[in-house]
Structure 1
Amino acid sequence: MVDPGRFITLEGGEGAGKSTQARQLSAALAATGRAVLRTREPGGTPGAERIRDLLLGHGPWDPVAEAMLHFAARREHVLRVIRPFLAAGGWVVCDRFADSTLAYQGAQGLPREVWTRLAEVALEGFAPDATLVLDMAPEAGMARAAARSGADRYERMGTAFHARVRAGFLAIAAAEPARCVVVDASAGPDEVFAGIAAALRTRLGVAL
């Protein structure tokens, strides 16, 4: 019988370094001999990537409609990519997952009970084994994001919005300490990864 893999998500605001850390974490896990899939949300399947284009490039959306699009993309991603890879014994590292929908659309007025109902339908209880919340001040994160080319719709929203997003992520982490670890993302990439490695050693027993 194949041992099931593990599902690790990275969450946080704009400019927190999730993509950089996802790449470093995936490489470190692969170096231990594990089969590793690095993926992202919204996205991960052809259809979900098209929904990503709609979400990032168009709007504004009603927050309920926006959350429904995120969960439609997420269900495809989970059923067609994530769960099969885990069932084969692989480890999945995902840049954003359902917590981002709660934090971002919650910051736009999405009621928590609507998010819960959508999650119940789309995910049927499926959840990450560990979530790393990369935390930093919104002003610093937006400055990092501004240095990149081609800002998306979320990156163009104001500081007050991103402060609400940060508060949303911290509230999620506080409510689920067994799953979530808050990592200070204001340091350099190597220091941030050291925090991630320590968290995963404690949560999942993996040495990186």
Structure 2
Amino acid sequence: AIAIFHCALLIFLRMAAFGKIANRVLNLTPNFRPLQRNFHKFQSAKSVPKNYTKYLVFVSGGLTALICTNYMKTERLDAAFRMRKTEDENLLKKLTSRERRFIKFASVEYRGQLYMTPQDFLDSVVEQEPRPRLKRRILSEQDLQVIKDNTPPLKKGSKMLFRTLRDRGIVSYTEYLFLLSVLTKPISGFRIAFNMFDTDGNHRVEKDEFLVVSKMI
């Protein structure tokens, strides 16, 4: 309320100052003196209805209050935005380097959860910065169904799968960490893990073999 009063007082003083300046200009210019006399006559005229004056004051006060209210609302929104930005920056400082990189390159969102596309993952590995974008794409149930239908079966997989899929797929943070481990760990470690799953030695991991090891873990 105090801020609105100050704002209204400031507008009133500016309007009063403008009236004084206009009166001085009329005094300095001889050609404007008839206009000045008419202006003073209008000011001192007794024929002006009192209701009209009250109505004018009421409308002016309402407009002033509206302007001040909108100004204060804008200030509160700006303060809230600055606070939210500071909180987000503090949260990013607490994240690991891989978490920050995943958030940086993730270009899609589903139910408030961030996801990478196959192309995002490739970019995160070979590029310093993500591709320019205005905002993240929000996925719907229909979008996920289309992605699922376009995903090829295992027998049709290839080494170019990610480059072929591009943006027609999603990668969660857990899957992102797994893919990074595949790229960074030596092949000998994967051979040991595979042999642990392949209990019958047929060089294939069957469903039952996988379930046995998963239960042990």
RCO comparison, higher one (Cα < 8 Å, 6+): 1
Which structure is higher in strand share?
1
| TM-score interval, normalised by the smaller of the two chains | under 0.3
Tell me which structure has the larger Cα radius of gyration: 2
Report the TM-score, using the length of structure 2 for normalisation: 0.21
